[in-house]
Chain A
Amino acid sequence: MRENVVIRTVSRISIPFIQLFALYVIVHGASGAGGGFQGGVVFASSFILLLIAFGLTGVRSRISVRGTRILAAIGISIYAGIGLLCILWSGNFLGYAAIESALGIPHLHGILIDLVEAGIGITVMAVMTSIILDFADKEANKS
Protein backbone atom coordinates (compact mmCIF):
# COMPACT_ATOMS: atom_id res chain seq x y z
CA MET A 1 0.00 0.00 0.00
CA ARG A 2 1.44 3.34 -1.05
CA GLU A 3 1.81 5.94 1.68
CA ASN A 4 -0.70 8.75 1.28
CA VAL A 5 -0.64 11.29 4.10
CA VAL A 6 -3.84 13.09 3.07
CA ILE A 7 -6.01 9.96 2.91
CA ARG A 8 -4.60 8.58 6.15
CA THR A 9 -5.00 11.82 8.09
CA VAL A 10 -8.55 12.44 6.86
CA SER A 11 -9.55 8.83 7.66
CA ARG A 12 -7.97 9.05 11.10
CA ILE A 13 -10.05 12.15 11.83
CA SER A 14 -13.35 11.00 10.30
CA ILE A 15 -13.49 7.37 11.50
CA PRO A 16 -14.37 8.26 15.13
CA PHE A 17 -17.17 10.52 13.91
CA ILE A 18 -18.56 7.80 11.62
CA GLN A 19 -18.55 5.38 14.57
CA LEU A 20 -20.19 7.94 16.85
CA PHE A 21 -22.87 8.53 14.22
CA ALA A 22 -23.41 4.77 13.93
CA LEU A 23 -23.93 4.47 17.68
CA TYR A 24 -26.34 7.42 17.54
CA VAL A 25 -28.35 5.71 14.78
CA ILE A 26 -28.54 2.46 16.79
CA VAL A 27 -29.55 4.14 20.06
CA HIS A 28 -31.98 6.49 18.31
CA GLY A 29 -33.94 3.56 16.90
CA ALA A 30 -36.79 3.73 19.43
CA SER A 31 -37.55 7.42 19.12
CA GLY A 32 -36.84 8.37 15.52
CA ALA A 33 -35.42 7.23 12.24
CA GLY A 34 -32.75 4.64 12.86
CA GLY A 35 -32.21 1.09 13.98
CA GLY A 36 -29.79 -1.76 14.35
CA PHE A 37 -29.49 -2.73 10.71
CA GLN A 38 -28.68 0.79 9.49
CA GLY A 39 -26.38 1.62 12.40
CA GLY A 40 -24.52 -1.67 12.06
CA VAL A 41 -23.83 -1.05 8.39
CA VAL A 42 -22.63 2.52 9.11
CA PHE A 43 -20.32 1.14 11.80
CA ALA A 44 -18.96 -1.47 9.39
CA SER A 45 -18.39 1.22 6.78
CA SER A 46 -15.89 2.87 9.14
CA PHE A 47 -13.88 -0.36 9.16
CA ILE A 48 -14.08 -0.49 5.35
CA LEU A 49 -12.65 3.06 5.28
CA LEU A 50 -9.92 1.85 7.64
CA LEU A 51 -9.16 -1.00 5.22
CA ILE A 52 -9.01 1.35 2.22
CA ALA A 53 -6.81 3.93 3.96
CA PHE A 54 -4.39 1.73 5.92
CA GLY A 55 -4.35 -1.50 3.92
CA LEU A 56 -4.74 -5.03 5.17
CA THR A 57 -1.71 -4.93 7.47
CA GLY A 58 -3.01 -1.78 9.18
CA VAL A 59 -6.42 -3.36 9.74
CA ARG A 60 -5.01 -6.67 10.99
CA SER A 61 -3.29 -4.97 13.91
CA ARG A 62 -6.59 -3.29 14.97
CA ILE A 63 -9.31 -5.87 14.24
CA SER A 64 -9.08 -9.62 14.71
CA VAL A 65 -11.03 -11.77 12.25
CA ARG A 66 -11.76 -14.22 15.03
CA GLY A 67 -13.18 -11.38 17.12
CA THR A 68 -15.69 -10.41 14.44
CA ARG A 69 -17.12 -13.94 14.38
CA ILE A 70 -17.42 -14.01 18.15
CA LEU A 71 -19.12 -10.58 18.10
CA ALA A 72 -21.61 -11.78 15.47
CA ALA A 73 -22.59 -14.66 17.74
CA ILE A 74 -22.77 -12.36 20.78
CA GLY A 75 -25.15 -9.95 19.04
CA ILE A 76 -27.55 -12.69 18.06
CA SER A 77 -27.31 -14.14 21.58
CA ILE A 78 -28.35 -10.78 23.09
CA TYR A 79 -31.47 -10.78 20.92
CA ALA A 80 -32.41 -14.40 21.57
CA GLY A 81 -31.43 -14.06 25.24
CA ILE A 82 -33.91 -11.23 25.79
CA GLY A 83 -36.54 -13.37 24.08
CA LEU A 84 -35.78 -16.29 26.39
CA LEU A 85 -35.76 -13.98 29.41
CA CYS A 86 -39.41 -13.22 28.61
CA ILE A 87 -40.19 -16.96 28.74
CA LEU A 88 -38.40 -17.15 32.09
CA TRP A 89 -40.89 -14.64 33.53
CA SER A 90 -43.83 -16.64 32.16
CA GLY A 91 -44.47 -14.62 29.01
CA ASN A 92 -44.32 -15.39 25.33
CA PHE A 93 -41.03 -15.50 23.42
CA LEU A 94 -40.05 -11.82 22.88
CA GLY A 95 -43.17 -10.69 24.75
CA TYR A 96 -41.48 -7.79 26.54
CA ALA A 97 -44.53 -7.02 28.66
CA ALA A 98 -43.69 -10.04 30.85
CA ILE A 99 -40.34 -8.56 31.94
CA GLU A 100 -41.98 -5.17 32.42
CA SER A 101 -44.63 -6.49 34.79
CA ALA A 102 -42.27 -8.87 36.59
CA LEU A 103 -39.75 -6.18 37.47
CA GLY A 104 -42.43 -3.56 38.05
CA ILE A 105 -40.56 -0.87 36.10
CA PRO A 106 -42.71 1.15 33.68
CA HIS A 107 -41.44 2.12 30.20
CA LEU A 108 -39.01 -0.81 30.16
CA HIS A 109 -40.33 -1.72 26.74
CA GLY A 110 -38.36 1.02 24.98
CA ILE A 111 -35.14 0.05 26.78
CA LEU A 112 -35.57 -3.61 25.85
CA ILE A 113 -36.18 -2.60 22.22
CA ASP A 114 -32.96 -0.55 22.37
CA LEU A 115 -31.08 -3.59 23.72
CA VAL A 116 -32.49 -5.73 20.92
CA GLU A 117 -31.48 -3.08 18.38
CA ALA A 118 -27.98 -3.04 19.87
CA GLY A 119 -27.81 -6.82 19.42
CA ILE A 120 -28.88 -6.46 15.79
CA GLY A 121 -26.30 -3.69 15.29
CA ILE A 122 -23.45 -5.77 16.76
CA THR A 123 -24.30 -8.76 14.54
CA VAL A 124 -24.66 -6.70 11.35
CA MET A 125 -21.44 -4.77 12.06
CA ALA A 126 -19.47 -7.94 12.79
CA VAL A 127 -20.80 -9.84 9.78
CA MET A 128 -20.11 -6.96 7.36
CA THR A 129 -16.58 -6.54 8.73
CA SER A 130 -15.95 -10.27 8.63
CA ILE A 131 -17.09 -10.51 4.97
CA ILE A 132 -14.96 -7.56 3.86
CA LEU A 133 -11.87 -8.95 5.67
CA ASP A 134 -12.45 -12.40 4.17
CA PHE A 135 -12.52 -10.99 0.65
CA ALA A 136 -9.50 -8.76 1.31
CA ASP A 137 -7.50 -11.75 2.63
CA LYS A 138 -8.56 -13.82 -0.39
CA GLU A 139 -7.36 -11.09 -2.78
CA ALA A 140 -4.09 -10.68 -0.85
CA ASN A 141 -3.38 -14.43 -0.96
CA LYS A 142 -4.10 -14.59 -4.69
CA SER A 143 -1.52 -11.99 -5.73
Chain B
Amino acid sequence: MKKLALIAVIFIGIILFWAVEDMPAFGDPDAPANQYTAKMYIERTLPDIGIDNIVTAILASYRGFDTLGEVVVIFTAGISVVLLLRRGEDQ
Protein backbone atom coordinates (compact mmCIF):
# COMPACT_ATOMS: atom_id res chain seq x y z
CA MET B 1 0.00 0.00 0.00
CA LYS B 2 2.86 2.39 0.87
CA LYS B 3 4.60 1.67 -2.44
CA LEU B 4 1.38 2.32 -4.33
CA ALA B 5 0.98 5.67 -2.58
CA LEU B 6 4.59 6.62 -3.38
CA ILE B 7 4.10 5.72 -7.05
CA ALA B 8 0.91 7.80 -7.17
CA VAL B 9 2.63 10.80 -5.57
CA ILE B 10 5.60 10.61 -7.97
CA PHE B 11 3.28 10.21 -10.96
CA ILE B 12 1.17 13.24 -10.01
CA GLY B 13 4.34 15.19 -9.25
CA ILE B 14 5.72 14.51 -12.73
CA ILE B 15 2.44 15.66 -14.29
CA LEU B 16 2.47 18.87 -12.21
CA PHE B 17 6.09 19.68 -13.10
CA TRP B 18 5.20 19.03 -16.73
CA ALA B 19 2.32 21.52 -16.45
CA VAL B 20 4.56 24.20 -14.88
CA GLU B 21 6.25 24.64 -18.26
CA ASP B 22 3.04 26.05 -19.73
CA MET B 23 2.40 28.58 -16.94
CA PRO B 24 3.13 32.28 -17.57
CA ALA B 25 6.25 33.78 -15.98
CA PHE B 26 5.90 35.23 -12.47
CA GLY B 27 4.65 38.83 -12.65
CA ASP B 28 4.07 38.68 -16.41
CA PRO B 29 1.76 41.58 -17.37
CA ASP B 30 0.36 39.54 -20.27
CA ALA B 31 -0.66 36.63 -18.03
CA PRO B 32 -4.41 35.83 -18.08
CA ALA B 33 -4.70 36.60 -14.37
CA ASN B 34 -3.51 40.19 -14.95
CA GLN B 35 -5.74 40.85 -17.95
CA TYR B 36 -9.22 41.47 -16.59
CA THR B 37 -10.03 43.37 -13.38
CA ALA B 38 -6.50 44.00 -12.07
CA LYS B 39 -5.87 46.82 -14.54
CA MET B 40 -9.21 48.43 -13.71
CA TYR B 41 -8.51 48.37 -9.96
CA ILE B 42 -5.04 49.89 -10.41
CA GLU B 43 -6.33 52.67 -12.65
CA ARG B 44 -9.54 53.52 -10.81
CA THR B 45 -8.82 53.14 -7.09
CA LEU B 46 -7.45 56.66 -6.63
CA PRO B 47 -10.14 58.56 -8.62
CA ASP B 48 -13.00 56.36 -7.35
CA ILE B 49 -12.15 56.04 -3.69
CA GLY B 50 -9.28 58.43 -3.00
CA ILE B 51 -7.10 56.17 -0.88
CA ASP B 52 -3.63 54.88 -1.69
CA ASN B 53 -3.96 51.25 -0.69
CA ILE B 54 -5.47 49.20 -3.52
CA VAL B 55 -5.77 46.08 -1.36
CA THR B 56 -7.87 47.92 1.24
CA ALA B 57 -9.94 49.55 -1.50
CA ILE B 58 -10.83 46.12 -2.90
CA LEU B 59 -11.32 44.58 0.56
CA ALA B 60 -13.51 47.26 2.12
CA SER B 61 -15.12 49.02 -0.81
CA TYR B 62 -15.30 47.08 -4.08
CA ARG B 63 -15.77 43.76 -2.25
CA GLY B 64 -17.25 45.20 0.93
CA PHE B 65 -20.15 42.77 1.08
CA ASP B 66 -17.75 39.82 0.83
CA THR B 67 -15.72 41.18 3.76
CA LEU B 68 -18.91 41.60 5.81
CA GLY B 69 -19.49 37.88 5.24
CA GLU B 70 -15.96 37.11 6.42
CA VAL B 71 -16.50 39.06 9.64
CA VAL B 72 -19.80 37.23 10.18
CA VAL B 73 -17.92 33.92 9.77
CA ILE B 74 -15.41 34.93 12.47
CA PHE B 75 -18.24 36.10 14.75
CA THR B 76 -20.10 32.81 14.22
CA ALA B 77 -16.95 30.83 15.03
CA GLY B 78 -16.49 32.74 18.29
CA ILE B 79 -20.14 32.28 19.29
CA SER B 80 -19.91 28.56 18.45
CA VAL B 81 -16.89 28.14 20.74
CA VAL B 82 -18.81 29.89 23.52
CA LEU B 83 -21.83 27.63 22.99
CA LEU B 84 -19.73 24.44 22.90
CA LEU B 85 -17.36 25.14 25.80
CA ARG B 86 -19.75 26.90 28.17
CA ARG B 87 -22.65 24.47 28.04
CA GLY B 88 -24.70 24.42 31.21
CA GLU B 89 -23.05 27.50 32.76
CA ASP B 90 -25.34 30.33 33.65
CA GLN B 91 -23.86 33.77 33.95
Chain A contact residues, CB within 8 Å of chain B: 29-35, 65-66, 69, 72-73, 75-76, 79-80, 83, 93-94, 96, 106-107, 109-110, 113, 116-117, 119-120, 123-124, 126-128, 130-131, 134-135, 137-138
Task: Kindly list chain A residues whose C-beta atoms are within 8 Å of the C-beta of B72.
Answer: 76
Assess the A120–B81 pair: CB atoms within 8 A: no
Assess the B75–A30 pair: CB atoms within 8 A: no
Cα-based distance from A35 to B91 in the complex (angstroms): 34
Q: For chain B, residues 68 to 86, give those with C-beta under 8 angstroms from any C-beta of chain A.
A: 68, 71-72, 74-75, 77-79, 81-82, 85-86
| B interface secondary structure, majority | helix
Chain B residues touching A, range: 20 to 34
Question: When A66-B91, A116-B64 are in contact, do A110 and B78 touch as well, CB less than 8 Å?
Answer: no
Q: A95: shortest Cβ distance to chain B, in Å?
A: 8
Assess the A31–B85 pair: CB atoms within 8 A: no
Cα-based distance from A86 to B38 in the complex (angstroms): 26
Q: For chain B, residues 37 to 91, give those with C-beta under 8 angstroms from any C-beta of chain A.
A: 49-53, 55-57, 59-61, 64-65, 67-68, 71-72, 74-75, 77-79, 81-82, 85-86, 91
Write the chain A residue with the least CB distance to B63: A94
Q: A59: shortest Cβ distance to chain B, in Å?
A: 16
Residue with the highest number of chain B CB atoms closer than 10 Å, among A29, A83, A93: A29
Cα-based distance from A116 to B51 in the complex (angstroms): 14
Residue with the highest number of chain B CB atoms closer than 10 Å, among A31, A65, A106, A120: A120
Task: Kindly list chain A residues whose C-beta atoms are within 8 Å of the C-beta of B57.
Answer: 113
| A interface secondary structure, majority | helix
